Structure 1
Amino acid sequence: MPRFVIAYVRAVERLNYAFGRVAMFSLFALMGVLLWGAIGRAAFTPPIWTDEMAQFLLLGYFMIGGAYALQLGSAVRMDLLYDRWSDRTKAAVDAVTILTLFVYLGVLLWGGIESTQFALEYGERRRGLWRPYMAPIKIIMVVGIVLMIMQCTAIFIRDLNRALGRGEF
């Protein structure tokens, strides 16, 4: 593989590792918001923002952490035949099947960008008492999708390299 391709794969994996760790620790913020909401309901007037903020934090956790999960290989895989294959066959099958993920993520990115543009242009707010702006969470969603596409590209390059019998880099 050319050096710039190897450098790209390593940079993407470093970036997604860093974002994944941030997403992992954002669960503490989510727990704090949920704890505050529970205490508020029990002790005094419940805060109106905790439920929606918890939903936003959870969405950010899933979207930003998605690329990290792909990097760690924690995706669900059917092992009926897969375990019996050689490493090169596994890599070749993975390289082909990841193309379907590219299509899915491409459609998701297209819709996410359009939705984000709408939220920014019209100042979209969520319905309810708190009425938070939707643009920040939609921007996080688009960033998460882009990170997943970049990670899928890195995985595809690694699988292609392994399928061609060139080993790891």
Structure 2
Amino acid sequence: MPNWTRTFVKVVDAVNYRIGRIAMYLLFVLSAVLLWSIIGKALGHPPLWTQEMAQFTMVSYFVLGGAYSLQLGANVRMDLLYGRWSTRRRAAVDSITVFAMIFFLAVILWGGIESTLYAFEIGERSRSVWRPYLAPVKIVICVGVFLMILQSVAFLIRDIAHLRGEDI
């Protein structure tokens, strides 16, 4: 495999690892938001922003952690046959099926970019009482999906290298 492919895989793995590790701490942010909501309700002054902020934080946690989850193999996989196959056969099947995942993620990214641009054009805001702008969370979604596409391409390169008898 060319050196640029090895470098690509290592850089993508490193970036997704770091972003995934940082995204894990969003659970603490989510907990703080929900705790603030509980305290506010107990004091008789429920904050208007906590429900949506909790939703935005959870979406960020989920989407930014997606590539990290893929990297660690924590994704769900049908293991009826896959677990019994040799690593070479797994790499062959994965190098074909990864295109379905890349296509799916590309469609999501395309729609996400269009939705984000629309949100910027009209200054889209939520319909709640708090009325936050929606563009920031849409940007986070697009970044997370893009990172998952990069991780999928890294998987493809790694599988092709394995089929060629090389190791990355």
Category of TM-score, reference length = shorter chain? over 0.9
Q: Matched residues in 2 for 1:140 and 1:99: separation?
A: 23
Per the alignment, residue 133 of structure 1 pairs with 133
Instruction: Give the TM-score, by structure 1 length.
Output: 0.97
Q: Matched residues in 2 for 1:145 and 1:84: separation?
A: 31
Per the alignment, residue 118 of structure 1 pairs with 118
SS at 2:80 equivalent: helix
Q: Matched residues in 2 for 1:94 and 1:38: separation?
A: 46
Q: Gapped runs of 5+ residues in structure 2?
A: none
Query: Counterpart of 1:33 in structure 2: which amino acid?
Result: V
Instruction: Give the TM-score, by structure 2 length.
Output: 0.98
- Which portions of structure 1, spanning 4 or more consecutive aligned residues, are displaced by more than 6 angstroms? none
Q: Matched residues in 1 for 2:83 and 2:54: separation?
A: 39
Q: Matched residues in 1 for 2:78 and 2:139: separation?
A: 33
Q: Matched residues in 1 for 2:6 and 2:111: separation?
A: 31
Q: Matched residues in 1 for 2:99 and 2:33: separation?
A: 38
Alpha-carbon displacement from aligned partner over 1:54-105 (angstroms, at most 9, x marks no partner): 0000001111111100111111111111111111001111111111001100
> What number of residue pairs does the alignment pair up?
168
SS at 2:55 equivalent: helix
Per the alignment, residue 42 of structure 1 pairs with 42
Deviation at 1:44, TM superposition (A): 2.5
Per the alignment, residue 143 of structure 1 pairs with 143
Root-mean-square deviation (CA, aligned residues, Å) is: 0.8
Query: Counterpart of 1:74 in structure 2: which amino acid?
Result: A
Per the alignment, residue 155 of structure 1 pairs with 155
